[in-house]
Amino acid sequence: MGEAFTAAQAIEHGATYRQLSRAVSKRVYERPWRGIYVHPNASYKEMLVALGLGAGPYAVISGRAAAYLWGIWAQETQVYEVTIPPKHRFKRKGVIVHQSPVDDADITTVDGISGVTTLARTIIDLAGEAYGLEFDQAFYSAWLKSPTLLDDLEARLEELGPGRHGIKKLRRLIAEARWMERPMESPLEVEFWKFRRGTKLPRPRPGVEFDDGSPKKFRADFVWLKEKLIVEIDSFKWHSSRDSWANDCQKQTRAAALGYRVMRITKEDFADPKLLEERISGALGLQSLTPKLRWGRRLRWPQDYPPALAAS
């Protein structure tokens, strides 16, 4: 037998239930669910293949399980989830089972695993399961993977018809994405966009490209064009190398030369949304923030740098 198989397939090949039970007891195979067998230490993807076999020929890996296979942001949890046609029956412990028609147009192969919902259908299904920031990040992550996603979503929604959960919020995101014209490029950018959406701050233009005559153009995460304010979203994961640090410094210098001010925002800034809104509002000139200033002898005497640090 292969790496994953059902009891029915084993019986067809001449095995008996007693032999299967013995193989499980000796850890030749494992039985994660009734009637489904895999080799020991099977990976999550192999388990999904086994689940698809056990759920029947019409079962499709869907929802968060499909999102995981697609590599969608905020979908790193290993969930076992399938969709089967109406009137079919399948129930196993720890498995989320949906009953809904799935057309051939909604089924594809992902990472070598067949019987997985397409990217568009996965997002449509997630609209009924995921909420808030999680769904927003999933949507923009999918759009980043497929430039035709918006058209694909609208076509499938038209064919599937009304009555599905979460379609209203999905249509709102599609309309917003049409205005943007290009997807955001990180989960943290989506988090900032959602934060801004809940404030009275004016809407910035995301993903603006600047051509200042240098050989290489540069892109700003969010720009208020009239106020000449740029917001850059920095995550340690993508900005921790020396090259990234140097590139960020150069980009900020180039923006300043064009008359733009730059605010750098990290994950930690979202811990106090009210304060963050106040600071951006001040930078936009919507409110006045007056600092207290001290200089010269009023400040503590600066410390001498260690020789190794001074030389760097």
Q: Phi, psi (5° rounding) for residue 241?
A: -80, 160
The pLDDT of residue 312 is above 60: no
Q: What is the structure's pLDDT at 307?
A: 66
The pLDDT of residue 1 is above 60: no
Q: What is the structure's pLDDT at 305?
A: 75
Q: Phi, psi (5° rounding) for residue 68?
A: -60, -45
The pLDDT of residue 2 is above 80: no
Residue 270 burial (C-beta neighbours within 10 Å; 0-12, 13-18, 19+): middle
Q: What is the structure's pLDDT at 303?
A: 84
The pLDDT of residue 142 is above 60: yes
Given CA atoms 19, 22, 24, 26 in this order, what sign does their dihedral have? negative
Q: How confident is the model at residue 289 (pLDDT cuts 50, 70, 90)?
A: confident
Closest listed residue to residue 275, CA positions, set 285, 150, 265: 265
- Pick the residue with more confidence: 311 or 203? 203
The rounded distance, in Å, linking the Cα atoms of 208 and 237 is: 22
Kindly state the percentage of the chain with pLDDT values over 70. Answer: 96
The pLDDT of residue 240 is above 70: no
Query: Mean pLDDT for the chain?
Result: 92
Q: Read off the pLDDT of each residue in 122-150 and give the average, rounded to a whole number.
A: 97
Q: What is the structure's pLDDT at 304?
A: 80
For 50-61, how does the pLDDT look when each residue is reduced to its tens digit (9 = 90+)? 999 899 889 999
| Spatial contact of 268 and 192, defined as CB atoms under 8 Å apart | no
The pLDDT of residue 233 is above 80: yes
Please list, in sequence order, all residues whose beta carbon lies within 8 angstroms of the beta carbon of residue 231, skipping any fewer than 6 positions away: 192, 204, 220, 221, 222, 223, 262, 263, 264, 265, 280
Q: How confident is the model at residue 198 (pLDDT cuts 50, 70, 90)?
A: very high
Q: What is the structure's pLDDT at 238?
A: 59
The pLDDT of residue 19 is above 60: yes
Cα–Cα distances in angstroms (integers) from residue 172 to residues 62, 87, 142, 195, in the given order: 23, 33, 16, 16
Between CA 173 and CA 130, with CA 185 as vertex, the angle to 5 degrees is 45
Q: What is the structure's pLDDT at 218?
A: 94
The pLDDT of residue 189 is above 90: yes
pTM: 0.87
Q: Phi, psi (5° rounding) for residue 91?
A: -150, 125
| Spatial contact of 48 and 72, defined as CB atoms under 8 Å apart | no
Q: Phi, psi (5° rounding) for residue 218?
A: -130, 155
Domains in the chain, CATH or no CATH each: 1-42 (no CATH), 57-179 (no CATH), 184-289 (3.40.960.10)
The pLDDT of residue 241 is above 80: no
| Helix 167-180 and helix 149-160, axial crossing angle in degrees, nearest 10 | 150
